Amino acid sequence: MMAMKGIDISDYQRGIDLAAIDYDFMICKATEGTSIVHTTCDPFIQKAIAMGKCWGFYHFMNKEDPIAQANYFYENCKGYFGAGIPILDYEMYGRIGTDGAKKFLDRIYELTGVRCIVYMSRSVCAEEDWSAIAPNHALWVAQYANDSATGYQDSPWLQSGGFGAWGACAIHQYTSHGRINGYGGNLDLDIAYMDAAAWAKFANPNDSIQAPVPPTDPQGSTADLAAAVMRGEYGNGDDRRNNLGSRYGEVQDLINRAASASVDDLASDVLNGVFGNGDTRRAILVDRYDEVQSRVNERANDVDIDALARAVIRGEYGDGDARRRALGSNYDAVQKRVNELLA
């Protein structure tokens, strides 16, 4: 039988480096009740996505209203449905009965079109009547052989005799004392009796849900993006930060420099190609453009075009766009001289 090895984690494993350990799938705690969100959930999920791993996310049920809990789970995780497997964690703390669990599960299905997997210990499978739930929801069962430390197991012990209303489990959590290379603490270790394609089917059973696409950072030079920001294309505050992604810091630094640096420093930046040319430069410098451009023009008159051209020929200014950026406003004159010297 095809199987995958995995871990389930929460805020308690906040420092874990998912790039440093071996796993096929990762499941993390997302929410609890109607007031708790685990802040590690999204970073864990984004890392799993970046690494091409399977992943799931779970809600820890308490004894609050199950519909309110389902709504809370959905509102805080709506971007995950259709990409990862949603899971209801049903444990002693939140055993409100299978009628309540069904209300939660039905509400999530109504909102998303996806059926949650249900997590519980082996004993709970038999202690409550899951016959109305098992036909539509797979089981993730917890059953441990002992409390000894262990690594991944290909065939972990599982008591025979069925799982109440379920004939088999989809995932088996077989230890809370897992030890694997790359992490110094205990981990819950699991085996999923499926491959990656089956996992994806649980997450998006009819391929009818548009799975979230990880955001991509905007393309273009720092100057081009800074000019676009100044034209209002990336919004303000958190909107700007979200829209620029990992480019935010470099772009905002350039905007701040344009607003605060001295005229002489900005003129040097212009000559080094930092602020681009034409409309791009004007958009970034805004009302400082004229004074900076005036200083640039003064300096340009003192530039030794011939010396710069010979430096270009020696390879000191690179090629293509790199050369253009390095020479800044002197590019056209220097390139013309280079062409003359090489003719």
Angle between helix 320-327 and helix 305-313 axes, rounded to 10 deg:
150
226 contacts: CB under 8 Å, gap ≥ 6: 251, 254, 255, 258, 283, 284
The DSSP-derived string for 225-254 is: HHHHHHTTTT-SHHHHHHHHGGGHHHHHHH
Confidence of residue 205 (pLDDT cuts 50, 70, 90): confident
Q: Are residues 149 and 247 in the same domain?
A: no
Three-state DSSP class for residue 61: coil
More confident position, 330 or 103: 103
Using CA atoms, how far apart are residues 140 and 120, in angstroms rounded to an integer? 7
Q: Are residues 187 and 293 in the same domain?
A: no
Q: Among residues of the chain, what percentage have pLDDT more than 70?
A: 95
- What does the pLDDT average to over 5-29? 95
- Tell me phi and psi for residue 12, to 5 degrees: -65, -20
Q: Are residues 245 and 119 in the same domain?
A: no
Residue 275 forms part of a structural domain: yes
Q: What was the pLDDT predicted at 302?
A: 66
Q: Which of 5-19, 101-115, 212-226 has the lowest mean pLDDT?
A: 212-226
Q: Are residues 263 and 181 in the same domain?
A: no
Q: What was the pLDDT predicted at 5?
A: 98
Q: Are residues 163 and 73 in the same domain?
A: yes
Using CA atoms, how far apart are residues 271 and 330, in angstroms rounded to an integer? 7
More confident position, 323 or 38: 38
What's the CATH number where 146 sits? 3.20.20.80
Q: What was the pLDDT predicted at 212?
A: 45
Contact call for residues 315 and 326 (beta carbons, < 8 A): no
Mean pLDDT over the full length of the chain = 89
Three-state DSSP class for residue 42: helix
Instruction: State the residue range of the domain holding 253.
Output: 235-342
Q: Are residues 164 and 47 in the same domain?
A: yes
How many domains does one find in the chain?
A: 2
Q: How confident is the model over 266-303, as pLDDT tens digits? A: 988 887 788 988 899 999 999 999 999 888 887 766 66
Confidence of residue 307 (pLDDT cuts 50, 70, 90): confident
Q: Are residues 24 and 136 in the same domain?
A: yes
Which single residue is written with the structure tokens 């202690």? 127
Q: What was the pLDDT predicted at 270?
A: 86
Of 179, 203, 227, the residue that ends a domain is 203
Q: What was the pLDDT predicted at 189?
A: 97
Residue 266 forms part of a structural domain: yes
Q: Which of 176-180, 213-217, 316-320 has the lowest mean pLDDT?
A: 213-217
Q: Are residues 181 and 258 in the same domain?
A: no
- Does pLDDT of 213 surpass 60? no
Q: Are residues 71 and 10 in the same domain?
A: yes
- What does the pLDDT average to over 22-32? 97
Q: How confident is the model over 308-318, as pLDDT tens digits? A: 888 888 887 77
CA 142 to chain centre: 28
Using CA atoms, how far apart are residues 225 and 76, in angstroms rounded to an integer? 31
- Does pLDDT of 340 surpass 80? yes
Residue 132 forms part of a structural domain: yes
Confidence of residue 322 (pLDDT cuts 50, 70, 90): confident
Residue 273 forms part of a structural domain: yes
Residue 181 forms part of a structural domain: yes
Q: What was the pLDDT predicted at 216?
A: 60
Q: Are residues 12 and 98 in the same domain?
A: yes
Q: How confident is the model over 120-144, as pLDDT tens digits? A: 999 999 999 999 999 999 999 999 9
Residue 230 forms part of a structural domain: no
Residue 140 forms part of a structural domain: yes
Q: Among residues of the chain, what percentage have pLDDT more than 90?
A: 65
Q: Are residues 178 and 260 in the same domain?
A: no
Q: Are residues 265 and 124 in the same domain?
A: no
- What does the pLDDT average to over 59-69? 96
Residue 228 forms part of a structural domain: no
